[in-house]
Amino acid sequence: MTPTTQTPPRPARSVNGASKIVAPDRAVRSVAPADPATVERPYVRYLWAVTRLCMGWVFLWPFLDKMFGLGHQTPVAQAWINGGNPTKGFLSGAVGPFAGIYHDIAGAGVINVLFMVGLIGIAVALLLGIAMRAACIAGATMVVLMWSASLPPQDDIFMDNHIIYALLLIGLAAVGAGKTLGLGKRWAQTGLVQRYRWLA
């Protein structure tokens, strides 16, 4: 309940020799302080911003490794720039109810392009804090598709890091994480975004 302060009655005053009591003013409602839970705290903004940067790296690293063969999971000879196939290995090993679909498209040229362009596009958007809605939706879709290619997960009946990543991406878009340690505010003021709000 919002606290109120009651204005005391005004003292009596004389009107034509007769005393008259002045009625008290209406109660003055004081302004209650804002609920701290609804205030955007700086450390919360920076926490989401750092999470955004980490998720950006999650997408950037596999792109770099598969593109240039940095030796982590992709040898130089299998790098995309050297004629390697960035999706064949993973999709060929798909298991679960959707395995047949993934086996059929494993290594297809258009799938390789979509995968690699998706990785770098999502990574750049997250690292810069721009086009967060589109990037987070695309990223969440990609990781859920990757989750569906390995069902059930090795360590659980359904839950793995892909689901956690998808939820984090949705959270990043919901809180506008690109505005802190990113270019989100400037991006939102561009004519392109003003015209196509879904690019914000």
pTM: 0.79
Assigned domain for 181 exists: yes
Q: Which residue has the tokens 């302060």?
A: 5
CA dihedral 150, 155, 159, 163 (to 10 degrees): -60
- Stretches where the chain sits below pLDDT 50 are 1-2, 4-5, 14-15, 22-36, 38-39
Assigned domain for 32 exists: no
Q: Residue 64: CB partners within 8 Å, gap ≥ 6? A: 70
Assigned domain for 188 exists: yes
Q: Residue 79: CB partners within 8 Å, gap ≥ 6? A: 66, 67, 68, 69
Q: How many domains does the chain have?
A: 1
Q: Which residue has the tokens 């949705």?
A: 170
Q: What is the pLDDT of residue 40?
A: 74
Assigned domain for 29 exists: no
Using the Cα atoms of residue 31, residue 33, residue 38 and residue 39 in order, give the sign of their dihedral. positive
Q: What is the pLDDT of residue 16?
A: 54
Assigned domain for 172 exists: yes
Q: What is the pLDDT of residue 24?
A: 46
Residue 120 lies in domain: 40-199
Decide: 85 and 77 in contact? Cβ < 8 Å.
Answer: no
